[in-house]
Amino acid sequence: MASCLHPFADHQKHSTSPNSNDQDVERLLRPLVDAYKAAIYERRYEDAQKFYHPNAVLVESEQRCHHTPPAIVRAISEYREPLQPAKTITENEIFSGNGDVFSYRNSWVLENDKEILRGPFVQVWVRNGDHLSLYHEEFAIQERTKKH
């Protein structure tokens, strides 16, 4: 299998033991999650694509799902672009996992001039050779409020 180039491969060579605590996992994932979010929020979708595992999936709960990095970033772009300009805030962040599988969860709020959207978000990162790749991503829109 060909090695995937990843922008944070050096950082990801640090591993966590099977008895890792959530702080260890946060130290491992935080730079990846923050860089990924920056790429999405700054609309650098090609940069975001580099984080995904070749067999990654994106699930919009109870709606649809997308498979492979190109389809995922296309869906994210098509979803986010009509909402721009927007600001997204993440709250209630939770990092967990050990060995080769890690997760990141949050509650998000997206606000633009017309509406406020809220919902849960989860990512599953897996070890892929010498780095971590985003393997599963899931979100839902639980609340959509129009502004007056």
In-domain check, residue 3: no
Q: Supply the pTM of this predicted model.
A: 0.82
Question: How many Cα atoms are found within 13 Å in the side-chain-facing hemisphere of 132?
Answer: 29
In-domain check, residue 140: yes
Domain span at 40: 20-146
131-139/52-60 β-pairing: parallel
Tens of each residue's pLDDT in the chain, 148 residues: 232 333 333 333 334 444 458 788 999 999 999 999 999 999 999 999 999 999 999 999 888 999 999 999 999 999 889 988 999 999 999 999 988 999 999 999 999 999 999 999 999 999 998 899 999 999 999 999 998 7
- Name the DSSP class of 30: H
Q: How many other β-carbons are positioned within 10 Å of the β-carbon of residue 108?
A: 18
In-domain check, residue 6: no
Q: What are the residues facing 95 on neighbouring strands?
A: 104
In-domain check, residue 85: yes
In-domain check, residue 9: no
Backbone region of residue 68 per phi and psi (left: phi > 0; alpha: psi in -120 to 50; beta: other values): left
CATH of the domain at 24: 3.10.450.50
Q: How many other β-carbons are positioned within 10 Å of the β-carbon of residue 29?
A: 24
In-domain check, residue 12: no
For the chain, how many structural domains are there in total?
1
SS3 readout for 35-82 = HHHHHHHCCCHHHHHCCEEEEEEEEECCCEEEECHHHHHHHHHHHHHH
In-domain check, residue 49: yes
In-domain check, residue 107: yes
Burial of 80 (0-12, 13-18, 19+ CB in 10 A): middle
**What's the token pair of residue 100?**
């080769």
Secondary structure of residue 8 in the 3-state scheme: coil
